[in-house]
Structure formats: C-alpha cells, structure tokens
DNA sequence: TTATTACATTGCAATATTACGATAAATATA
DNA sequence: TATATTTATCGTAATATTGCAATGTAATAA
C-alpha cells in the first residue's frame, strides 16, 4: 500500500518517525552538512557541491524546510539557507530522548 | 525515480541516512518502545499490541534487524526480540554526533 | 524593455515502501 | 502421525519517494 496507518500510533510516535524521515536520505544529510560547514548561511550554491540536478536539490531543501530543520531567506536573486537552530534542537532532543531510553538491560535471553 | 544515488555520498552520510530510515516509521518506533518497555525480551506478542497484520509486523521487525537495532532469538515456536544494545549505542552515537555538530551559530543572516 | 540569473514548481518515469491475504516452515502438542 | 501455534516469506495492490527535463517566477543587469 505504501500508506502509513498514522492513526494507529501516538502523536509522539508519529513525531519521532517524521523527524527521522527528514534525515532519511543521504542528500539531505549532505545538504545539512554543507550548511553547517558554511558556519552561517549558504547562498544556495548547493547544486554545484552536490551531484544532483537543481530540481532535486530544491525538493530536498523543501523537505528539510517542512521538517523545520532549515530556513531560507531570499537575498535578491538567490536564497540563503541556514539551520533553524530552535527547531533543530527540539528535534535533536526528541530523538535523543527516544534513543537514550535504552539503559543497561540485562541480556538475560538474547 | 525512487532510486537513491548512494554513490554520490560518503559512507558516513549513507550510514546516518540509513539509520534514520530505520526509525522513519511509527510502527517501528512503537515496536522498539514495546521491546524497551518489556525491559528484557518480548516474545513476539507484538501483533496483539500493535494494530497491524502479522506479516506487516514481521516485515518491520526484519528492517529493524537489518538496521542492527534489534536481534531475535528462537525459543521453541516463538521468537524473542530484544534491543541489540551494542549496535543501538553505535547508531545512537553516530546520530548524536551528527545532531550535536550545530553549535551556536550567529544568526547573522536568517 | 529584454536578457540573465537563481530557484521553485510541474509533470512524469522508475523505484521503494507499506500493508495484507495466502501460504510455507518449524516446532510443540495431542 | 496429525494438528495447532508461531513466525517468516511470497505475491500483489496501493501509495510514496526520488530524480530530472521542462517550464514558471521573481529579481537583477544590460
């Protein structure tokens, strides 16, 4: 079906999964790394740095924007992207909380 | 195309994305939470706890296993699942390292 | 005004994912 | 042996994702 049964799960579960989904493509990881590497904003020369066509990059940028990880500011003809630090931290904390809830479990069976 | 151009990206980038992909479905988050809640192994009564058909659960379990997040031990007719703590920590650290690399960037443009 | 430049959007083809019925496989039980 | 139980696999339908060429849009430059 390809259709996730969202209604079967809690809001939190859908949130965590949604956040992970935004990170679930190497191109998006690469884009985020380029933006981070730039230390400030990167004025959209991502196409020349990542080996994908311009519409593809644009599509990934939109997904990162929808997830709240980045924001874009129009500067004349070009667009400046940077990390949305506030959302980034929220996302990081949510993911971390989930990933850290595995303490030392006694491996008594497996 | 639906075909990720894996070869365009570094091993690390593909790793991070692959890990995120394993977490990118609420059913898999729910499964992991059930296993964690059980504190030890959960003997495959996941189908009764999660509102999805048995083959669907089985499929998600396989993906979690492929990602290294869980392991399963056969116990008679049933299978016991538990968190693969070693791999879990490796994955967590990789994701954390990525998510933590955004320090206080001066918001000088956006 | 007419390019030009930088991105976004549209539309489409190829592939991937999700979900489940049917069925297989493996073990336990009667 | 026959049957029940539990999980995995196969096959398939529905939907989602990825990638890109073509095109649209908005600001700037000539």
Number of domains into which chain A is organized: 1
Is A47 an 8 Å CB contact of chain B? no
pLDDT tens digits along B100-109: 998 666 655 6
The residues, any chain, with a CB within 8 Å of residue A106's CB and separated by 6 or more, are: B40
Verify whether the Cβ–Cβ distance B27 to A39 is below 8 Å: no
Residue B62 placed within a domain: yes
pLDDT for res B31: 98
pLDDT tens digits along A31-75: 999 999 988 888 889 999 999 999 999 999 999 999 999 999 999
CATH number at residue A48: 1.10.10.10
Residue B35 placed within a domain: yes
Residue B81 placed within a domain: yes
Residue A105 placed within a domain: no
pLDDT tens digits along B22-55: 999 999 999 999 999 998 889 899 999 999 999 9
CA separation, residue A100 to residues A43, A68, A96, B60, B94 (Å): 36, 23, 6, 21, 13
Higher pLDDT, B107 or A8: A8
User: Are B71 and B32 in contact, with CB atoms under 8 Å apart?
Assistant: no
Neighbours of A39 (CB within 10 A): 12
Verify whether the Cβ–Cβ distance A20 to B16 is below 8 Å: no
Residue B29 placed within a domain: yes
Q: How many Cα atoms occupy the beta-carbon half-sphere of B101 within 13 Å?
A: 14
Neighbours of A32 (CB within 10 A): 25
Categorize the per-residue pLDDT at B2 as very low, low, confident or very high, splitting at 50, 70 and 90.
confident
Is B8 an 8 Å CB contact of chain A? yes
- Residue A110 CA to residue A47 CA, distance in Å, equals 47
Residue B69 placed within a domain: yes
In this complex, the answer to whether residue A25 has its CB under 7 A from any atom of chain D, a nucleic strand, is: yes
pLDDT tens digits along A86-104: 999 999 999 999 999 986 7
Categorize the per-residue pLDDT at A6 as very low, low, confident or very high, splitting at 50, 70 and 90.
very high
Residue B59 placed within a domain: yes
User: Are B26 and A8 in contact, with CB atoms under 8 Å apart?
Assistant: yes
Is B74 an 8 Å CB contact of chain A? no
Three-class DSSP category at B84: coil
Residue B82 placed within a domain: yes
Domain that holds residue B19: 10-96
């Amino acid at each position: 079906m390809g259709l996730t049964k969202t209604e079967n799960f809690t809001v939190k579960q859908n949130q965590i999964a949604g956040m992970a989904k935004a990170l679930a493509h190497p191109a998006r990881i690469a884009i985020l790394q380029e933006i981070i590497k730039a230390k400030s904003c990167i004025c959209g020369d991502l196409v020349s740095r990542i080996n994908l066509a311009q519409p593809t990059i644009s599509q990934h940028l939109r997904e990162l924007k929808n997830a709240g990880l980045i924001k874009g500011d129009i500067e004349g003809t070009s667009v400046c992207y940077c990390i949305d630090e506030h959302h980034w931290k929220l996302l990081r904390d949510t993911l971390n909380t989930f990933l850290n809830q595995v303490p030392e479990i006694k491996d008594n069976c497996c």
